[in-house]
Homo-oligomer: A and B are copies of this chain.
Amino acid sequence: MSLLKRATISDVAKLAGVSMTTVSRVLNKNYPVKEATRIKVEKAIGELEFKPNLLARGLIHNKTQTIGILTPSIENLFFSEVVKGIDSVMKERGYTTFLCNTEGDPKQEQRMIDNLKDRSVDGIITINPRTKNIKSGYYQTLSKQIPVIIINGYNRGIQCNYVLNDGEVGTLEALKYLYELGHREIAFLRGQFSYSYDVKESMYKQFCKDNHLEFEEENIIVVEDGNGPQTVEQSKALVEKILRENKRFTCLFACNDWMAVGALNAAKSLNISVPDEFSIIGFDNTIISQITEPRLTTVDQNMTGLGQISGKRICELIEDKSSGNKKIVIETKLVKRESVAKACR
């Protein structure tokens, strides 16, 4: 493989019979250049297929037109849609993105951020970062060195730029919908450790209280892990047990779509018809919710929008570093499909 060297600005200058400075001016259009010389230079650029080396540019400006995105998992539909949203904005504005998979490990998260800093990225967007790194003040310190956006992670008192979903309102809307359809016995399915589950659970309890629904601890079903297909299996097992042992529930609220699918499979294996005999509502509106039978009623988190807003916000921060910290909250939207119906008893 013979890799022929790329032409440099000096090659162009020689061929066009001008100085490097002039070539640079033609490229950047930042200083006046005589029409005739401009044409000469452009011709030389074309002939040599010259394209400026972005590394060298970055070295001077200390600005690379790149950002880093951190995600705990690339194969999770939630995250990949957010990434897509970010990417669409950044691409449009001439940025290229490093995508880093932290595998949900706080240490790796920090290592990858170090790497991104070494590569002089202009900003960092971190999706669902480990709470540990937020609480410890790591991100607060980082934010003083480089523009940072935290997606779906929030901590009072920690001053950073946040973009997040309104999980409380989304949960409330879903519960209200069930209530209006006559459901009074609502099971609640969640994962173990995550701020977002806690938010939803406290909303659920509040809702029960406000509407004089009797709340019992057994209403809360906790599945071990929150993401990925194993969640489906685990949820299915737990929900099967509940459905067999306790006939009073007429519906179930699941904290994400994977769990909702597990619940759906549980009902199916017990020959309980959804939604005629049992209603199920999910959360996230991932692609999954469109391909089940019946299709899932769920709460749309507007993941692409979340990404887009984060992209725009990081650009603001890059352009105006003095811009203060903000917390942007995105509204959710209930998507009604077929997995919820009127309560049958």
Binding site for B on A (CB under 8 A): 1-4, 51-56, 58-59, 64, 66, 74-75, 77, 80-81, 83-84, 87, 91, 96-101, 114-120, 143-147, 228-229, 232-233, 258, 261, 264-265, 268-269, 287-288, 290-291, 293, 321-323
Q: Which residues of B contact A58 (CB under 8 A)?
A: 55
Q: Are B146 and A261 in contact (CB under 8 A)?
A: no
In the complex, the chain B residue whose C-beta lies closest to that of A304 is B75
Q: Which residues of B contact A115 (CB under 8 A)?
A: 96
Q: Are B229 and A287 in contact (CB under 8 A)?
A: yes
Q: Can you offer 22 A-B residue contacts whose CB atoms are under 8 A?
A: A1-B322, A3-B145, A3-B321, A55-B58, A55-B59, A55-B64, A66-B119, A74-B80, A74-B83, A75-B81, A75-B287, A96-B116, A97-B98, A97-B99, A98-B98, A99-B99, A229-B291, A232-B290, A232-B291, A233-B290, A261-B291, A269-B293
- Complex-state Cα separation, A290 to B147, whole angstroms: 40
In the complex, the chain B residue whose C-beta lies closest to that of A68 is B96
Q: Pick the most buried of A51, A96, A147: most chain B CB atoms within 10 A of its CB.
A: A96
Q: How far is the CB of A223 from chain B (nearest CB, A)?
A: 14
Q: Are A75 and B80 in contact (CB under 8 A)?
A: yes
Q: With A91-B101, A96-B98 given, name 14 new contacts (CB 8 A).
A: A1-B147, A1-B322, A1-B323, A51-B114, A53-B118, A55-B120, A75-B80, A87-B101, A96-B100, A97-B99, A229-B291, A232-B290, A258-B291, A265-B291
Q: Which residues of B contact A288 (CB under 8 A)?
A: 288, 291
Q: How far is the CB of A154 from chain B (nearest CB, A)?
A: 20
In the complex, the chain B residue whose C-beta lies closest to that of A145 is B3
In the complex, the chain B residue whose C-beta lies closest to that of A108 is B91
Q: Which residues of B contact A100 (CB under 8 A)?
A: 96
Q: How far is the CB of A294 from chain B (nearest CB, A)?
A: 9
Q: Report which of B74, B87, B144, B258 forms a contact with A84, defined as CB distance below 8 A.
A: B74
Q: How far is the CB of A246 from chain B (nearest CB, A)?
A: 22
In the complex, the chain B residue whose C-beta lies closest to that of A264 is B293
Q: Which residues of B contact A59 (CB under 8 A)?
A: 53, 55-56, 59
- Complex-state Cα separation, A66 to B290, whole angstroms: 37
Q: Are B51 and A118 in contact (CB under 8 A)?
A: yes
Q: How far is the CB of A329 from chain B (nearest CB, A)?
A: 22
Q: Which residues of B contact A55 (CB under 8 A)?
A: 55, 58-59, 64, 119-120
- Complex-state Cα separation, A74 to B91, whole angstroms: 14
- Complex-state Cα separation, A59 to B120, whole angstroms: 13
Q: Which residues of B contact A96 (CB under 8 A)?
A: 98, 100, 115-116, 119
Q: Which residues of B contact A98 (CB under 8 A)?
A: 66, 96-99
In the complex, the chain B residue whose C-beta lies closest to that of A4 is B145
Q: Are B321 and A1 in contact (CB under 8 A)?
A: yes
Q: Are A75 and B77 in contact (CB under 8 A)?
A: yes
Q: Are A87 and B64 in contact (CB under 8 A)?
A: no
Q: How far is the CB of A300 from chain B (nearest CB, A)?
A: 14
Given known contacts A1-B321, A80-B80, A144-B2, A119 and B75 CB-to-CB distance under 8 angstroms: no
